[in-house]
Amino acid sequence: MARHRLSLNSMFKIIQGLKRSQRFTINSFCDYTNDSHSHVIHDRQNQRFTININDSDGGVSSAVLKYTFRDDKHVELTSTEVPESHRGKGVAAHLAKAALDFVVEEHLKARISCWYIRKYVDENPHLEYQAYIEN
């Protein structure tokens, strides 16, 4: 699994070059700016997306978005968990975007059980995830 680190400046340049893309916007990166923690890891085997976060005390905690497959082409996005000390910093938005991009790239239909992911979809209609969401 390859990991890539991009500075905010690099992400901005990429985003500027992709302005025409409806699924990729700078809003996804603005709130959570700690580059060393913004890697989303997709663990397909355990059906989760994870961001490992260095805590101020030197420890590491994880933010996790979990999903389950209902069948080959239907997935349920079940929960998003972010450590309390990192809430409100855009961590959950990174997880939601990664999971929803996965749904789009794999041509899946998603049922959303998690209130935060539902909120993310509703607040970002320009990303056009609605076509992939089951009511």
pTM of the model: 0.72
CA distance 133 to 41: 22
Nearest CA to 94 out of 43, 46, 49 is that of: 49
Percent of the chain with pLDDT over 70: 72
Give the mean pLDDT of 72-98.
Answer: 96
Domain ranges of the chain: 8-134
CB 100 within 8 A of CB 121: yes
DSSP-assigned letters across all residues of 32-98: ---GGG---EEETTTTEEEEEEE-TTS-EEEEEEEEEEEETTEEEEEEEE--GGGTTSSHHHHHHHH
Give the mean pLDDT of 4-33.
Answer: 40
CATH of domain 8-134: 3.40.630.30
Which amino acid makes up residue 26? Answer: I
| pLDDT at res. 21 | 36
**Average pLDDT, rounded, for the chain:** 81
